[in-house]
Amino acid sequence: MPVFLGAQTLVWPDAPEEGKIQYVSSIQDLSAYSSKKNFRQWISQMINPGPDLNFVQPMGIAVNKKMIAVADPGRKGVFLLFRNKKSFIFIDGNTLPNKDLFSPTDVALGENEILVTSSIGTDLWVFNYNGTLNRKLALIPPPGRLTGITNLGELYCAIDTKNHQAVIFDRFG
């Protein structure tokens, strides 16, 4: 549920300049995105609890009209918060092939795909909006360590921290 910092309105820049950016809320507890469970789902969750509903180390974020995606290397996963449905999916890195090479640091939202960078390995992980791994992109030449990514429409720009460079690639080849 959004958390507000009292009744004070927070804007930037401060007066006397006209405020252009206003603080709205923070997401700390994902229980607002949990759907109501029937008895069978409740029992199933008691037996197999699944992920905690809190961020551990949120690092990267991407937003579009459908969702908010948060990369959390502390959880070794990515949270997909669906804005209209008030539900979420957790992409658990421990269930992926080559799970030892998955430590998500940033996320970008494309058209029906989610791109995730990992501080371990050199691949770019591509998921669909259901959280299913579609493919891993092996970039050529291989980057050192991808730690950031952004969607620029037809282009994606990733940060290769180890080699001190920005890597730009066309999603259509």
Q: What are the beta bridge partners of residue 59?
A: none
Sign of the torsion angle spanned by Cα atoms 165, 144, 140, 73: negative
Q: Is the pLDDT of residue 25 over 80?
A: no
The reported pLDDT for the residue numbered 153 is: 84
The reported pLDDT for the residue numbered 51 is: 54
What confidence category does residue 49 fall into, taking pLDDT thresholds of 50, 70 and 90?
low
Residue by residue, DSSP assigns 70-97 as EEETTTTEEEEEETTTTEEEEEEGGGST
Cβ neighbours of 41 (radius 10 Å): 11
How far, in Å, CA of 96 to CA of 64, rounded?
25
How far, in Å, CA of 107 to CA of 115, rounded?
6
Of 44, 37, 78, 85, residue with least CA distance to 61: 78
| Domains of the chain and any CATH numbers | 54-170 (2.120.10.30)
How far, in Å, CA of 26 to CA of 96, rounded?
30
Q: What are the C-alpha distances in Å from 137 to residues 74, 87, 143, 148, 168? A: 23, 28, 11, 15, 13
0.95 exceeded by pTM: no
**For the chain, what is the mean pLDDT?**
81
Q: Would you state the structure tokens that stand for residue 121, as one six-digit string?
A: 């390995």
68-104 burial, b if ≥16 CB within 10 A, otherwise e?
bbbbbbebbbbbbbeeeeeebbbbbbeebeeeebbbb
What confidence category does residue 50 fall into, taking pLDDT thresholds of 50, 70 and 90?
low
- Range from 10-19, 38-47, 94-103 carrying the lowest mean pLDDT: 38-47
In the chain, what's the furthest Cα-to-Cα distance?
Answer: 57
Q: Is 109 helix (H, G, I), strand (E, B) or coil?
A: strand
